[in-house]
Amino acid sequence: MASHRLPERFRPILKRPLGILVKNEHLNVSSIEKELNGCFLLVSVGDATTEKLLSLGFRPDVEVVDSVEMRVPRSLPSSHYNTELRVSNEAGHLTDEAIYSVSNALYAKKPVRIIVFGEEDLLALPILATYPNDSVVAYGQPNSGMVMVRINDNLRKSTASILNEMDIVLG
């Protein structure tokens, strides 16, 4: 399977929150509910993010985890899911296998857990580029909080352009 490397010039862009940053000290049921109002699908990317959402009573429709937090091995979040997908994806890359898993998760019986062997961070990109409008993708902002990104046409286009630069064309 092919692997597509993220160009270096996008790293600083992707380090900034792509959506609303809910600071750690404000992460609670009401702050999450506010961001999820009218949400079509909830997707979590990252073990700590998934665990935090679950602890507050929010079950992601799709969770993307790798059993690593801040480069330290950890246990996978305790969760109930109907479908489990396992993929390999090296740091700083997106493999075709990982991209297909994101697509398959959209149509699989929910909730879905995608377990990534390698690094899961960049899987947010094909999710942001292909999932339905008003889906919310939650991911961690290290040492700050949780970013909640609501998918819309503009975000989908900008994310697709990053993927195109990685020689990834989504159908």
Q: CA 91, CA 29: separation in Å to the nearest integer?
A: 32
What is the total residue count of the chain? 171
Which residues of the chain, if any, have pLDDT below 50? none
pLDDT digits (tens, 9 = 90+) for 133-158: 999 999 999 889 999 999 999 999 99
List, in sequence order, every residue forming a beta bridge with 65; answer none if it has no partner.
115
- Alpha-carbon distances of 129 from 90, 93, 118, rounded to whole Å: 20, 16, 21
Percent residues over pLDDT 70 in the chain: 99
Please give the model's pTM, rounded to 2 decimal places: 0.95
